[in-house]
């Protein structure tokens, strides 16, 4: 019967050791409760507690990445959008995370979802689409302040997607197309205006320098000569015909010939 007694003692010792020895990882902290009273944090490493009198609750100190569920919100300008986000946070005070909130992960998630809905509801659609970084910063500050009493530090909040109604998407596409057409017309008009200015300056220079017109004529003839065409049209300036016009007209002082 002695071996049975030894076996029972060995089983009891194993149970006591397993209840007394706890291993806390490097990224964890263990809150120890003695008869229901919080007596402090332990770890990392091997932690020895009093079996059946003390218990330990572990808290992960690593950064937690959590998706914020989609929220259907209405902006200030009465546009219904569906937004979702992702939040990054970690425990900086394990004691507060254990004592001051039942489930700090669920509490932070619900706070982020509520804050996301409120902030989007106070923003316009253009701000939501064009200045999302400001929206992220605003949500991060509000959630961080709300979760600070729980020993939580919110490091970043990012709005992932903004879904618009189909009618709004078509309206925005038409607006973007109209804006592109307007810019193209403005650029074309500016190009025409600059070209007209340059032509006016060139005409002014040529009018003051008659030799420039002759040089331009010769350059045009040279350009035409390089083209492989059957018909060549030579532009002739009117100045070339003025001399012939003077010869063909009768002289007022010329003596009349007798027949």
> Can you give the pLDDT at residue 154?
93
Task: Give the residue from 164, 192, 209 where a domain finishes.
Answer: 164
Q: Are residues 17 and 48 in the same domain?
A: yes
Evaluate if residue 257 carries a pLDDT over 50: no
| 253 domain residue, yes or no | no
| 85 domain residue, yes or no | yes
Q: Are residues 171 and 129 in the same domain?
A: no
User: Are the beta carbons of 150 and 104 closer than 8 angstroms?
Assistant: yes
Q: Are residues 108 and 20 in the same domain?
A: no
Evaluate if residue 42 carries a pLDDT over 80: yes
| 103 domain residue, yes or no | yes
Q: What tokens were used for 217?
A: 């004529």
> Can you give the pLDDT at residue 4?
81
| 235 domain residue, yes or no | no
Q: Are residues 192 and 156 in the same domain?
A: no
Q: What tokens were used for 93?
A: 């005070």
Q: Are residues 171 and 208 in the same domain?
A: yes
| 228 domain residue, yes or no | no
Which residue range(s) make up the domain with 92? 64-164
Q: What tokens were used for 154?
A: 């919110």
**Domain total for the chain?**
3
Q: Are residues 89 and 120 in the same domain?
A: yes
Evaluate if residue 252 carries a pLDDT over 60: no
| 90 domain residue, yes or no | yes
| 245 domain residue, yes or no | no
Query: Which helix (H) or strand (E) covers residue 159, if one does?
Result: strand 152-163
Q: Are residues 76 and 159 in the same domain?
A: yes
**What DSSP state is assigned to residue 76?**
T
Evaluate if residue 72 carries a pLDDT over 50: yes
Average pLDDT over residues 171-175: 66
Q: Are residues 145 and 86 in the same domain?
A: yes
Question: pLDDT of 48-63, one tens digit each?
Answer: 988 889 899 999 999 9
pTM: 0.63
Task: Give the residue from 98, 132, 164 where a domain finishes.
Answer: 164
| 232 domain residue, yes or no | no
Question: pLDDT of 127-162, one tens digit each?
Answer: 888 888 888 999 999 999 999 999 999 999 998 888
At 63, give phi and psi (nearest 5°). -70, 130
Question: pLDDT of 201-233, one tens digit each?
Answer: 777 776 776 666 666 666 666 666 665 655 656
Q: What tokens were used for 227?
A: 């083209």
Q: Are residues 82 and 159 in the same domain?
A: yes
Q: Are residues 82 and 149 in the same domain?
A: yes
Q: Are residues 121 and 73 in the same domain?
A: yes
Q: Are residues 110 and 35 in the same domain?
A: no
């Amino acid at each position: 019967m002695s071996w049975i007694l030894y076996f029972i003692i060995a089983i009891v010792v194993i149970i006591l050791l397993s209840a007394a020895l706890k291993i806390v990882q490097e990224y964890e902290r263990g809150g120890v409760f003695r008869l229901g009273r919080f007596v402090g944090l332990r770890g990392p490493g091997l932690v020895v507690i009093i079996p059946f009198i003390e218990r330990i609750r572990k808290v992960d100190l690593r950064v937690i990445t959590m998706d914020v569920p989609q929220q259907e919100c209405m902006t200030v300008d009465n546009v219904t959008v569906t937004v979702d986000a992702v939040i990054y946070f970690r425990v900086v005070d394990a004691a507060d995370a254990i004592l001051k909130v039942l489930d700090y992960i669920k509490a932070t998630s619900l706070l982020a979802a509520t804050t996301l809905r409120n902030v989007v509801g106070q923003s316009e659609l253009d701000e939501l689409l064009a200045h999302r970084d400001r929206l992220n910063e605003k949500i991060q500050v509000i959630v961080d302040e709300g979760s600070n009493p729980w020993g939580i530090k919110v490091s970043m909040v990012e709005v992932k997607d903004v879904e618009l109604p189909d009618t709004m998407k078509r309206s925005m596409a038409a607006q973007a197309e109209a804006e592109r057409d307007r810019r193209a017309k403005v650029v074309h008009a500016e190009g025409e205006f600059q070209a007209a200015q340059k032509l006016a300056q060139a005409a002014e220079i040529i009018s003051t320098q008659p030799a420039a017109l002759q040089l331009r004529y010769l350059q045009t003839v040279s350009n035409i000569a390089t083209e492989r065409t059957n018909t060549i049209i030579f532009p002739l300036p009117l100045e070339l015909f003025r001399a012939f016009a003077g010869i063909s007209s009768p002289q007022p002082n010329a003596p009349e010939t007798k027949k």
